[in-house]
Structure 1
Amino acid sequence: MNNTIAAIVLTKDEEKHIARCIESLKGICEEVFVIDCFSTDNTKVVAESLGAKVYQHPWKNYATQFNWGLYNCPITADWVWRIDADEFLDNGLGQSVRKAISKCDDDVNGIYVRKRIDFMGRPLKHGGWYPSYHLKVWRRGHGECENRWMDEHICIFDGRVITVEQGDQVDANLNDLTWWMNKHNGYATREMADMLMMEYGLDASSQEVMPKFFGTEEQRKRWLKVKYIKAPLFIRPFINFTIRYIFKAGFLDGKEGFVWHFLQGFSYRFLVDAKIFELKKRFGFDDNKIKAYLKKTYLS
């Protein structure tokens, strides 16, 4: 095996970010596949000019779009790297991963890397956001994206996983707060559906990350999400904000950190709860009607 790597990037009007993303992959990934949802800007042109292979496909949700690319693109590389268009590799992460896969045992099929979020130009180093480890690299044929509407992770079918400690995969979106709020309004709808399907047992549980506190980061996050769902509506956003901003020292990230924790840790979570309440009230809090709606809208 040559231990080559193919990156898969999903795009929709990502002209502002795509060059930075692809440039960070040079010398690391032998193949770059961009799965574009019919961008109206120059995303496709920029990506192709930098050597990426661009395929266009209609959007349903992140998981189906990613897995479509995984199984339909002519990938020949031994490993796959999941990276979003507004992310890039930093601090030697690419070289660290290449070194790790050149030395790992044959039963190692997944690699956790460290993720960092930059918000308003400031790295968020507190509030439980950093360091955060995500399974972003895996041996082709041994994993795929779990089928969820929100918070989807890569699931490894078999083998072991290792962690690379050096370097960061940086999430640094360059759009303004108006864009951010509009985006998170859409996220809130997806989160509402995801949480309700978990509450009513309608999610694809056989493909999920197993909730487990003393497990991988994804398993721990899923365990916490299950607990969060059981907490009282409208109370849990206050709890989330308090834990992250105060007890996990999010206040140390300055004004940018306050904006982030208030918007992402409280306002966004409150909006999700409001949408859950709105949907339940719409159907008179009738569980059977709510489940029928979820099945028709999100599972058909």
Structure 2
Amino acid sequence: MSESLDIIILTFNEERNIEACLQSAAQLKANIFVVDSGSADQTIAICQKYTSNIFHHPFENYALQRNWALGNLPLTGSWVLNLDADHRVTPELAAQLNGIFSEKVAPEINGFLISRRTMFINKWIRHGGHYPTYHANLFRRGFGMCEEKLYDQHFKVTGKTQVLKTDIIDVITDSLTSFINRHNHWATLEAQYQVEQQNAPALDDKGQLVHPRLFGNPMERRRYLKKRYEAFPLFVRPVIYFIIRYFFKLGFLDGTTGLVFHFLQGFWFRFLIDAKIYELRKEAKKQ
């Protein structure tokens, strides 16, 4: 007896990205659901070529949008795959998932961890500890939810997960201007979150977030390392992180494009977060 699969894709003015995403998703034997948050371009028209399951919901933040979709769409599949418009299902992943779901999945498995293959200015970033990077995009319906964080959210799965060896392609930018604007926005959210965590450090204990564990699954291990990173002093930690990532983890092997990516994403972005934390702390002292 086979398993059934639903795919949820979030959109907002994604006419440049969405068709390639939908074409890749069509390789899977699945029902495709699109949740749009007010696109004013050709996004909806493109989606209508691939699915009639198009729903509209105002966007507050990524986590709330994801969890609204999981709780309110008329899903019928026993499994849910969560994609963004800039994701691409590789042929290898599609073949593997079609094979897995052609039979019953072991009942103790409630989720699959899939690595993202980051594409930056048409180059696959293979080094600097950036690949493989696993996410729990795929889980049994009712056994997964998105962390309620403003930035760097992961899907949290209840029960055992299994690591897959095939990838989702993540096309993270169409231009440096877009990359910088998005990361400036995300730096603001991450700075706010870290400052708030200083006053509410017990949030992890409520079970809302992926638990940081050094010897856990790849997501739990990465969350543990992030917590260790956050314990270092502001402005020192991005320097140390970039040195480790670019030199010790061989980020330099990604060439000139890799230098741009690792510097912007591995140093500038994190330095900007620290600067915004510094600014928030100074403003708090004035009150």
Residues 38-79 of structure 1, C-alpha deviations (whole Å, 9 max, x = no match) = 012111111112225221111111110001011111111110
Q: 1:51-62, aligned counterparts within 5 Å?
A: 51-62=51-62
CA distance in 2, matches of 1:29, 1:276: 45
Partner of 2:281 in structure 1?
280
Partner of 1:182: 181
Computed over aligned residues only, the root mean square deviation of the Cα atoms, in angstroms, reads 1.6
Gap runs ≥5 in structure 2: none
Partner of 2:169: 170
Separation of aligned partners in 2, 1:186 and 1:67: 21
Contact kept, 8 Å, 1:113 with 1:135, in 2: the verdict is yes
Q: Deviations over 1:135-155 (max 9, x none)?
A: 111011111112111111111
CA displacement, residues 117-166 of structure 1 (integer Å, 9 cap, x when unaligned):
011111011000112222111011111112111111111123x211221x
More deviation in 60-69 or 22-31?
22-31
Aligned equivalent of 2:49: 49
TM-score by length of 1: 0.90
Q: Deviations over 1:203-262 (max 9, x none)?
A: 742111111111111111211121111110011111111111110000000011000001
How many angstroms apart in 1 are the aligned matches of 2:164 and 2:259? Answer: 30
Aligned pair 1:145/2:139, yes or no?
Answer: no
Corresponding position of 2:93: 93
The more displaced of 211-220 and 43-52 is 43-52
**CA 1:35/1:253 → structure 2, altered by over 3 Å: closer, same or farther?**
same
Aligned to 1:241: 242
Going from structure 1 to structure 2, the CA distance change for 1:203 and 1:151 (only over 3 Å counts) comes to farther
Please report how far the alpha carbon of residue 22 of structure 1 lies from its aligned counterpart in structure 2 after TM superposition: 0.8
| Matching residue of 1:231 | 232
Name the CA shift for 1:18/1:52 in 2 (closer, same or farther; >3 Å).
farther
Q: Is the aligned partner of 1:262 residue 2:263? A: yes
Alignment check: 8 A CA contact 2:19 2:46 kept: yes
Distance, in Å, in 1 between the alignment partners of 2:37 and 2:276 is 26
The question of 1:132 aligning with 2:133 is answered yes
Distance between the aligned counterparts of 1:15 and 1:29, measured in 2? 24
Distance 1:116 1:59 in 2: 26
Cα separation, 2, equivalents of 1:19 and 1:266: 33
The residue type equivalent to 1:171 in the other structure is: D
Matches within 5 A, 1:105-116: 105-116=106-117
Q: Which amino acid aligns with 1:186?
A: H
1:193, CA displacement in angstroms? 1.8
Are the aligned partners of 1:97 and 1:164 in contact in 2 as well (CA < 8 Å)? no
The answer to whether the Cα contact below 8 Å between 1:16 and 1:174 also exists between their aligned partners in 2 is no
What CA distance in whole angstroms lies between the structure 1 residues aligned with 2:91 and 2:148? 31
Counterpart secondary structure, 1:33: strand
- The separation in 1 between residues aligned to 2:99 and 2:174, in whole angstroms, is 34
Contact 2:27-2:91 at 8 Å conserved across structures: no
Residue 120 (1) aligns with residue 128 (2): no
> Does the residue aligned with 2:257 lie in a helix, a strand or coil?
helix
In 2, Cα distance between the equivalents of 1:67 and 1:40? 23
> Aligned partners of 2:230 and 2:284: how far apart in 1?
20
DSSP 3-state at the match of 2:7? strand
Kindly, what percent of the aligned residue pairs are identical? Answer: 38
Cross-structure match for 2:30: 30
- Could you tell me the TM-score, scaled by structure 2's length? 0.94
2:127 and 2:251 map into 1 onto residues whose CA distance is 5
Question: Residue 3 of structure 1 aligns to which amino acid in structure 2?
Answer: E
Q: Structure 1 CA distance, aligned partners of 2:200 and 2:229?
A: 15
- For residue 294 of structure 1, what is the aligned residue in structure 2? none
Structure 1 unmatched runs, 5+: 290-300
Partner of 2:194: 195
Count residues with an aligned counterpart.
Answer: 284
1:198 Cα deviation (Å)? Answer: 2.7
